[in-house]
Amino acid sequence: MSTTDAVEFWDGLYAARPASADPRPNARLTEIVSCLQPGTALDLGCGDGGDSLWLARQGWRVTAVDVSTVAVERLAVLAATHGLDERIAAERHDLCESFPHGTFDLVSVHYLHTPLDLDRAAVLRAAAHALRPGGRLLVVDHGSAAPWSWDQEIHCPAPRDVAAGIALDPSTWKVERADASRRLATGPQGRTAEVIDHVLIIRRADRTDAAPGKDA
């Protein structure tokens, strides 16, 4: 699948729905990241921008990435509207072809699912290598599909299987959490449904806990 196909698909998906004036962050992000010290964050697949806006409000400096030009331009406008444009840099990347520059204390990857060709393991591996020492990769996948989801055919591997697929050196990257958690989700028109999230957190060793002779 070409870059043009991916852009057209995702631009069409976002353009078909109205832009939110203040999109909500993902529940797992707020639950997990609230206890972390703010630093630099990479939001891969930023979509409507709720996660990036929330992170910026908590004091993070965010690089927000999406393949959709519509999504990236909308987020740039929202960041400026909410006075967060100095904390959010919105960039368009096709992750099949390019990855954002920089190193990060947090890489957040929420529901990076696509019907198009994407080597997700390679993307997540690049994300792990973009972590600063002590930084965390947070991957949240759909364990089940909400009734209002655009994709009812989602079949995501278990978090431990995702970690195995990334194939990181365990002396440098440690799995801190890998589980399936249930929550009550709220969708369009206030509809609710119980859904399952697959949660994976991988931490890059810092200089105090890296093994001797290993490049952390």
Per residue in 31-44, pLDDT (tens digit) is 999 999 999 999 99
Q: Does domain 3-204 have CATH number 2.40.370.10?
A: no
Q: What is the 3-state secondary structure (H, E, C) of 1-63?
A: CCHHHHHHHHHHHHHCCCCCCCCCCCHHHHHHHCCCCCCEEEEECCCCCHHHHHHHHCCCEEE
Reported pTM: 0.88
Residue 54 dihedral angles phi and psi, to the nearest 5°: -65, -45
DSSP 3-state assignment of 157? coil
pLDDT class of 154 with cuts at 50, 70, 90? low
188-194 CB contacts, 8 Å cutoff, 24+ apart: 188/148, 191/147, 191/148, 193/146, 193/147, 193/148
pLDDT (0 to 100) of residue 143: 82
Angle at 202 between CA 200 and CA 205, to 5 degrees: 170
- Residue pair 48/90 in contact (Cβ under 8 Å)? The answer is no
pLDDT (0 to 100) of residue 180: 94
Is residue 149 pLDDT above 80, yes or no? no
DSSP 3-state assignment of 175? strand
pLDDT (0 to 100) of residue 3: 60
More confident residue, 191 or 178: 178
